[in-house]
């Protein structure tokens, strides 16, 4: 299986690039943000629980995210692989993911980290907020919280994969197609 962690701050283009990758490599797209938004729309208990954290731009507690991801992996054990988008977001989640995969004789093939300057992230998120309807994209304060949460809690996840020799960085600025090509080149090297 080809199991990829697509990593980067909010607004780096993970969702957009995931679409291209799943089409090209026929992988299952496992976006924890999308899963939470689906639960919110459906009004499930999980959605209600996650809403307060999401509205504030904070992370949903690890155990909730981890069990949601575990269920999804178990549903798709026959897949060609997964692209993890927006997960893992803490080192604790990364360790839990490694354990889950090991239990199924699987492993992460590599991480692709999209790097985008902060001013560009803010611009993209505000622009997305005008059309996405996402409450967490619509004001500068929430965007600042999400970027800070990324720096404090999520960026150490890159070091975690670096120490396993699985970290690959890509400049996430430029045309969508040019970035996709660079991502494909990295994936083809896994
Ligand atoms: P995203 O669409 O990836 O930006 O996620 C939207 C929101 O969902 C985040 O700001 C968090 O509140 C929550 N979320 C998504 N993925 C995770 C995760 N792996 N760990 C904790 N919270 C998450």
Q: What is the pLDDT along the chain (190 residues), one digit of tens a residue?
A: 999 999 999 999 999 999 999 999 999 999 999 999 999 999 999 999 999 999 999 999 999 999 999 999 999 999 999 999 999 999 999 999 999 999 999 999 999 999 999 999 999 999 988 888 787 888 889 999 999 999 999 999 999 999 999 999 999 999 999 999 999 999 999 9
Within 6 A (CB) of ligand 1 lie 10, 32-33, 36, 53-54, 57-60, 65, 86-87, 89, 93, 136, 146
Q: pLDDT value at position 189? A: 96
pTM above 0.85, yes or no: yes
Is cis: bond before 88, omega within 30 of 0?
yes
Q: How far apart are CA 142 and CA 135, in angstroms?
A: 9
Identify which of 147, 186, 166 has the alpha carbon closest to the alpha carbon of residue 59. Answer: 147
Three-state secondary structure call for residue 124: helix
Mutational test site, ligand 1, from 60, 70, 160, max ligand atoms within 8 Å of CB? 60
Q: pLDDT value at position 137? A: 83
Q: pLDDT value at position 77? A: 95
Q: pLDDT value at position 107? A: 98
Strands (E), the chain: 2-7, 28-31, 81-85, 110-115, 167-171
99 labelled catalytic? no
Q: pLDDT value at position 130? A: 87
Nearest atom in ligand 1 to 61's CA: 21
Mutational test site, ligand 1, from 36, 73, 100, max ligand atoms within 8 Å of CB? 36
**CA dihedral over 101, 102, 103, 105, signed as positive or negative:** positive
Q: Whose CA is nearest to atom 19 of ligand 1?
A: 87
Q: pLDDT value at position 132? A: 83
**CA dihedral over 100, 102, 106, 111, signed as positive or negative:** positive
Which two three-digit tokens encode residue 183? 């991502």
Three-state secondary structure call for residue 106: coil
Q: pLDDT value at position 136? A: 83
Q: Find the 93 Cα to ligand 1 centroid distance in Å.
A: 12
């Amino acid at each position: 299986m080809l199991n990829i962690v697509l990593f980067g701050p909010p607004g780096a283009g993970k969702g957009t690039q995931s679409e291209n990758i799943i089409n090209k490599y026929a992988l299952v797209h496992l976006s924890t943000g999308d899963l939470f938004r689906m639960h919110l729309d459906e009004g499930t208990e999980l959605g209600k629980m996650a809403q307060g954290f999401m509205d504030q731009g904070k992370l949903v507690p690890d155990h909730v995210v981890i069990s949601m991801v575990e269920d999804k992996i178990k549903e798709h054990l026959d897949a060609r692989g997964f692209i993890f988008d927006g997960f893992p977001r803490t080192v604790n989640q990364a360790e839990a993911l490694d354990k889950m995969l090991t239990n199924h004789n699987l492993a992460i093939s590599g991480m692709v980290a999209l790097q985008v300057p902060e001013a560009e992230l803010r611009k993209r998120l505000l622009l997305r907020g005008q059309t996405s309807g996402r409450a967490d994209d619509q004001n500068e304060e929430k965007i600042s919280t999400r970027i800070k949460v990324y720096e404090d809690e999520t960026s150490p996840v890159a070091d975690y994969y670096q120490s396993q020799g699985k970290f690959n960085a890509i400049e996430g600025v430029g045309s969508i197609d040019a970035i996709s090509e660079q991502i494909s080149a990295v994936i083809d090297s896994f």
